[in-house]
Copies of this chain bind each other. A is one copy, B any other.
Amino acid sequence: MPAMLRDAPPPLTRSVEDYLKAIYHLSAQGGFATTSDIAALLTVAPPSVSGMVKRLSETGLIEHVPYRGVQLTAQGRRAALRMIRRHRILEVYLTAQLGYDWDGVHDEAERLEHAVSDDLIERMARALGDPRYDPHGAPIPTPEGEIEEAELVALAAAAPSTTLELREVGTQDPARLRYLAEQGLVPGTRLHVVSRQPFNGPVTVRTPGGERVVGLELAALLWCRPEAE
């Protein structure tokens, strides 16, 4: 019997899927994901992470540099992107087809992403017309594991009198999401930066719904694409 067929790789467990996703997000800006960051994100104790890291690097899903942190291997990255695709397709589906709000959809998707089959995800994607972004504007990886890498700038860092398109909202916190939606600050909105107060003050933007004053904490979550001239 050929080796390829002999031992089918055991399917990943829920925990493993969660760790890979966490590591993907934490090492997105190129660096290492540290033990304590992973522990904080998954709300487990650091020793639990050390243990899992050992197993994951033995199975070739991550690369571990002791006392430094971990990074995904190509295989681990594929698995993480598969989970992210599932999560984001689910978020779009629940929002578009079952009346969920963008601030309530995360938890449901978080549980379902481990249970749905690839087949079901692709049926949902087809029913939705193969969406490219989730309700928060985050890009959805393709079934082949490609993901769009956009060059976005945080509103907090934008220069006054530039015009931007709000592309992605970098939080899942329901309270923040609800407030942003009330202010009309959702992906796709055009923003003109009116002014920026000194000493880490708020940013004032003009939106189709009127002028809005956005505090720095929120402005740091609003990722925008500079408008082409």
Bound complex: CA of A120 vs CA of B98, how far in Å? 8
Instruction: List residues 84-141 of chain A with CB under 8 A from any CB of chain B.
Output: 94, 97-100, 108, 111-112, 114-117, 119-120, 123-124, 127
The secondary-structure label for the interface of chain A is helix
* Residue pair B116, A112 in contact (C-beta under 8 Å): yes
Q: How far is the CB of A101 from chain B (nearest CB, A)?
A: 12
Chain B residues closer than 8 Å to A123, beta-carbon distance? 98-100
The complex places the Cα of A50 from the Cα of B101 at a distance, in Å, of 44
| Structural contact, A120 and B97, CB atoms closer than 8 A | no
**Of all chain B residues, which has the CB nearest A119?**
B108
Are the C-beta atoms of A127 and B98 separated by less than 8 Å?
Answer: yes
Choose among B94, B98, B120 the residue that contacts A94 (Cβ–Cβ < 8 A).
B120
Cβ distance A102 to chain B, nearest Cβ, rounded Å: 15
Chain A residues near B (Cβ < 8 Å): 94, 97-100, 108, 111-112, 114-117, 119-120, 123-124, 127
